[in-house]
A and B are shown apart, each in its own frame.
Chain A
Amino acid sequence: MLEIKPILNSLLRSKAGALMLLIQIALTTMIVSNAASIIFDRIQYLSQETGFPEDEIFSFSVMSFDKTLDLTQKFEETETMLRNIPGVKNASLFNAVPVSGSGSATGLGLQPANERGQDSRAAYYMADENALDTLGISLIEGRNIRADEVIESQTREVFPKVVLLTKTLADELFPTGDALGQTIYFGDMPLEIIGITEKMMGPWLKDSRPDNVAIIPFVGASTFQKIIVRTVPDQRAAIMRQIEDIMLEDHNKRVIVGLRGMDEAKAMYNAADTLMLRMLVVLIVILLSVTALGIFGLTVFNINKRTKQIGTRRALGARKSAIVNYFLVENIIICIAGTAIGSIAAVFLGQSLLNFYSLPALNSLYILSTVVFVIIISVLSVIMPANRAANISPSIATRSI
């Protein structure tokens, strides 16, 4: 009924064309399934929640070059000035800006640094009691830092006594979930855990522990100081435009650099991944179109070559549907063989990508969906020329060239 035997025979008579199609389909399956796997991995990475209201926050750095200035006092005034700008919800000095790709990390442990073995890697933000509000992060347990717990100093000789941890970090340090009230060590300095926050990201989204974050109540105003500001969302752009003038009016012996919204900072940090994502999407879209065109072209060519035979078959009583079926089945046979070989190749390619470039392992679901997709595309590109073939008049058979 499906006439597989004659189809196979005729395929074997003109091997080369069919073989090319088969290779094309196999390569397509191999490339598309691996590319799709990488694409979905990147989409997942890029769309992850950072925990922050990204569209409300912006940051900048202040380079102060006035050596006579008391930095701690001046920045205290600057902070107050920033908080009083209409539209600003809060502002704080920070030692590092979230998701910007630059900051500080340390190992936190249950004993002082010299006495312990394994510790937990954590990024830390140093800021005052406004830190949580400025970042738009809320507490899950415990309390916020009090103003009198914040240490303002240019050296680290006096160190804070308390710390806030993210839930992830607290659970890593205390797997039983009783972190609140316990003491951990930053180097040799003991810190009491007074609060546990919801999830937030550190400076590096690609860190092995991206959401292990500690907030330490310490303000060490420096000549290169980072400041984070949180505003009402629709006023952020306007405030960002004025901020350099405002800051220079506040004090003129300083330079403002690196002014950017948090979403922009994140996009810059992730630029390479966005690029990879886009290139792969373009690649597989074009690849599938080229393959579809190839199938289309080859079918048209085959039909032209067999015009006379088709006419003869029709004259001998074959229905139109039989002609369409013939080409469909022929195509599906090639397709199945191609995707089968392609799937095996895809697994090998996935394996080597995993081994050499530590890309995520290829899930067989990607291969399966690619195979289905390729078959659908190939059927779609064969239907039109096949219908045209079905319309070849039987009278052709009776004419000579």
Chain B
Amino acid sequence: MLLHYIDLSWRSLKRTPLVSFLMILAIAVGIGITMTSLSVYHMMSMDPIPQKSTKLFAVQLNTTDDGTNWWTQDNVPLQLTYKDAMTLHKAEMPTRKTASMRAGFTVHLNNQDLKPFLSDARLIGRDFFPMFDRDFVYGSAWTTEQENVSAPVVVINEELNDRLFGGSNSVGKQVYLDDNVFTVVGVMKQWDSHTKYYDLNNGAFDSPEPMFLPITLVAPMQIESWGNNNGWKHEAISTFEGQLQSEIFWLQFWAELNSPAEVQNYRDYLQAYLEKQGQLGRYNRTVPEFNLKNVIEWMEYNNVVTSDNKVLLGLSFLFLAVCLANILGLLLGKFLRRAPEIGVRRALGASKRQIFVQHLVEVSLLGFLGGLLGIAIAQLGLWGVRTTSNEYNALATMDLSMLLAAPTIAISACIIAGLYPAWLVCRTQPAIYLKTQ
């Protein structure tokens, strides 16, 4: 029966090619525009690590005086001071946690073959790799022992390994960062995350860094942050040691907490830690403030999806509504003009339900065709987005779920638009039309 209805629909479309084309075009344009902004929105807001996003927590400690304003919604600074980050990093609990900081180095092999180049790097604890599910092609993370003695070791990603060592097993080989010799201990599998959710400060959609070094190197090697350093009070700092002891915020901190009990324990621990720091007179704050936010909450809190994107998405859906109103008007005309034919069919025994279903199949076909054409238009739109901004290269694409969503949205939208015209036409009284003919 369905095939028969589809056949009827197809004939009906061919009978009024211009109107059919206009309707398909309207739905296609609506879907095209909506899918363009929805795809970007989807990529931006997508859970970057679905299997662990509720177990990884960004830690915020408010170590400012009462009355200090910050640009976050609850006035709590986004990053930690060095001394707090390292205290938490070296604490007993939880099992996995890491301080984290962005830096960068000149990379070279101390020979003439390779022109020195600049590369981003991240300073972390070894827990970072299992926390963020990083696998290795060769070697592994550095050992706890190496981390404790600030050993000059580095984990590089596949891309950097290709560039430096032609993709071979480079574990044990040496690489120069600035003018210091580092030993490669591991080659990490390429990390293609389009949201840099573990550090949203300098470009939320930048690629992950290609090199990872022990965070314990910061102090001995005097490694400056390439991220944000935010001060909030006047401090006379003239040396690197001074910066390490200062109240400037410049490190991120992540903890893996696998159960509500662990979360509660850690909250108690942070509460106690802050109370103690307050008693030591480090800051002037009546109620200790801290945040534990999981990956999803963290992205929300950092406005990864900007208000512009949300506005655009909303306007796109309104636009789709306009297209639907348009189609509804056209469908009304098309279906009602067919009333005499329906009258005859009803007289020959077709039930109201059958007529109704037949017309819904017809609008679904319209929606399907419109959806397909809409995908093409959306690709054009996304191409336009990519040419405007490099930052959107990885974001302005449609993944499988979006490709499936396009015809789904198109068909459901068309069915909604077609309900009323189909209902009108199935109420046709056969008698009237039989008489006039």
In B72-121, which residues have CB < 8 Å from any A CB? 104-106, 108, 116-118
In A23-78, which residues have CB < 8 Å from any B CB? 23-24, 27-28, 30-31, 34-35, 38, 63, 65-67
Known contacts A290-B29, A301-B333, A359-B307; 7 additional CB pairs below 8 A are A24-B322, A24-B325, A31-B319, A114-B234, A223-B178, A290-B322, A297-B330
The answer to whether A372 has its CB under 8 Å from any CB of chain B is: no
| CB closest chain-A residue, reference B321 | A27
The answer to whether B391 has its CB under 8 Å from any CB of chain A is: yes
Contact A35 B118 (CB under 8 A): no
Please tell me the size bucket of the interface on A: 35 or more
| CB closest chain-B residue, reference A257 | B118
Contact B29 A286 (CB under 8 A): yes
| CB closest chain-A residue, reference B421 | A16
Partner of B391, one of A16, A271, A283, A353: A271
10 contacts between A and B (CB under 8 A): A20-B326, A23-B325, A31-B318, A65-B106, A65-B108, A155-B239, A255-B106, A272-B308, A286-B319, A301-B329
Given A291-B322, A356-B307, A297 and B329 contact (CB-CB distance below 8 Å):
yes
CB distance from A363 to the nearest CB of B (A): 17
The answer to whether A384 has its CB under 8 Å from any CB of chain B is: no
The answer to whether A157 has its CB under 8 Å from any CB of chain B is: yes
In A171-209, which residues have CB < 8 Å from any B CB? 187-188
Question: Top 10 closest A-B pairs, CB basis?
Answer: A113-B234, A271-B389, A357-B307, A301-B333, A20-B329, A294-B326, A65-B106, A24-B325, A65-B178, A275-B388
Contact B307 A276 (CB under 8 A): no
The answer to whether B369 has its CB under 8 Å from any CB of chain A is: no
The answer to whether B384 has its CB under 8 Å from any CB of chain A is: yes
Contact B420 A16 (CB under 8 A): yes
Given A24-B325, A286-B29, A358-B307, A31 and B19 contact (CB-CB distance below 8 Å):
no
Interface membership of chain B positions 200-212, coded 1 if the CB is closer than 8 angstroms to chain A and 0 otherwise: 0000000000000
Contact B389 A17 (CB under 8 A): no
Measured in the bound complex, the distance between the Cα atoms of B316 and A234 in whole Å is: 43
Residues of chain A within 8 A of B19, CB atoms compared = 297
Contact A298 B333 (CB under 8 A): yes
Given A297-B19, A297-B330, A65 and B234 contact (CB-CB distance below 8 Å):
no
Contact B312 A279 (CB under 8 A): yes
Contact A283 B33 (CB under 8 A): yes
The answer to whether A274 has its CB under 8 Å from any CB of chain B is: yes
Partner of B319, one of A114, A283, A294: A283
The answer to whether B189 has its CB under 8 Å from any CB of chain A is: no
| CB closest chain-B residue, reference A271 | B389
In A278-294, which residues have CB < 8 Å from any B CB? 278-280, 282-283, 286-287, 290-291, 293-294
The answer to whether B332 has its CB under 8 Å from any CB of chain A is: yes
Given A66-B179, A257-B118, A293-B26, A17 and B329 contact (CB-CB distance below 8 Å):
yes
Contact A290 B315 (CB under 8 A): no
Binding site for B on A (CB under 8 A): 16-17, 20-21, 23-24, 27-28, 30-31, 34-35, 38, 63, 65-67, 113-114, 155-157, 187-188, 223-224, 253-255, 257, 268, 271-276, 278-280, 282-283, 286-287, 290-291, 293-294, 297-298, 301, 304-305, 353, 356-359
The answer to whether B306 has its CB under 8 Å from any CB of chain A is: yes
Measured in the bound complex, the distance between the Cα atoms of B337 and A20 in whole Å is: 17
Interface membership of chain B positions 359-396, coded 1 if the CB is closer than 8 angstroms to chain A and 0 otherwise: 00000000000000000000001001100111110000
Contact B392 A155 (CB under 8 A): no
Contact B118 A293 (CB under 8 A): no
Measured in the bound complex, the distance between the Cα atoms of B334 and A301 in whole Å is: 9
Given A16-B420, A17-B329, A24-B326, A67 and B106 contact (CB-CB distance below 8 Å):
no
Residues of chain B within 8 A of A66, CB atoms compared = 179
Contact A157 B238 (CB under 8 A): yes
Q: Is the interface of B mostly helix, strand, loop or mixed?
A: helix
Given A271-B389, A275-B392, A34 and B117 contact (CB-CB distance below 8 Å):
no
Q: Is the interface of A mostly helix, strand, loop or mixed?
A: helix
Residues of chain A within 8 A of B316, CB atoms compared = 283
Measured in the bound complex, the distance between the Cα atoms of B322 and A30 in whole Å is: 11
Contact B329 A298 (CB under 8 A): yes
Contact A294 B311 (CB under 8 A): no
Given A357-B307, A357-B311, A187 and B319 contact (CB-CB distance below 8 Å):
no
Contact A63 B118 (CB under 8 A): yes
Measured in the bound complex, the distance between the Cα atoms of B235 and A113 in whole Å is: 9
| CB closest chain-B residue, reference A345 | B318
The answer to whether B310 has its CB under 8 Å from any CB of chain A is: yes
Contact A63 B106 (CB under 8 A): yes
Residues of chain B within 8 A of A358, CB atoms compared = 307
The answer to whether B323 has its CB under 8 Å from any CB of chain A is: yes
Measured in the bound complex, the distance between the Cα atoms of B325 and A28 in whole Å is: 11
Measured in the bound complex, the distance between the Cα atoms of B201 and A64 in whole Å is: 25
Contact B311 A24 (CB under 8 A): no
Contact A17 B332 (CB under 8 A): yes
Contact A293 B326 (CB under 8 A): yes
CB distance from A71 to the nearest CB of B (A): 13
| CB closest chain-B residue, reference A356 | B307
The answer to whether B328 has its CB under 8 Å from any CB of chain A is: yes
Contact B318 A27 (CB under 8 A): yes
Residues of chain A within 8 A of B149, CB atoms compared = none
The answer to whether B22 has its CB under 8 Å from any CB of chain A is: yes
The answer to whether B64 has its CB under 8 Å from any CB of chain A is: no
Contact A272 B306 (CB under 8 A): yes
In B5-38, which residues have CB < 8 Å from any A CB? 19, 22, 26, 29-30, 33, 36-37
**Which one of A65, A276, A357, A358 has the greatest number of beta carbons of chain B within 10 Å?**
A65
CB distance from B35 to the nearest CB of A (A): 13
Measured in the bound complex, the distance between the Cα atoms of B315 and A286 in whole Å is: 13
Contact A274 B389 (CB under 8 A): yes
The answer to whether B2 has its CB under 8 Å from any CB of chain A is: no
| CB closest chain-B residue, reference A276 | B308
Contact A278 B384 (CB under 8 A): yes
CB distance from A399 to the nearest CB of B (A): 15
The answer to whether B1 has its CB under 8 Å from any CB of chain A is: no
Measured in the bound complex, the distance between the Cα atoms of B391 and A27 in whole Å is: 32
The answer to whether B400 has its CB under 8 Å from any CB of chain A is: no
Interface membership of chain B positions 122-141, coded 1 if the CB is closer than 8 angstroms to chain A and 0 otherwise: 00000000000000000000
Contact A280 B22 (CB under 8 A): no
| CB closest chain-B residue, reference A289 | B29
Residues of chain A within 8 A of B36, CB atoms compared = 279
**Which one of A20, A156, A287, A291 has the greatest number of beta carbons of chain B within 10 Å?**
A20
The answer to whether B236 has its CB under 8 Å from any CB of chain A is: yes
Contact A255 B388 (CB under 8 A): no
CB distance from A219 to the nearest CB of B (A): 17
Contact B329 A21 (CB under 8 A): yes
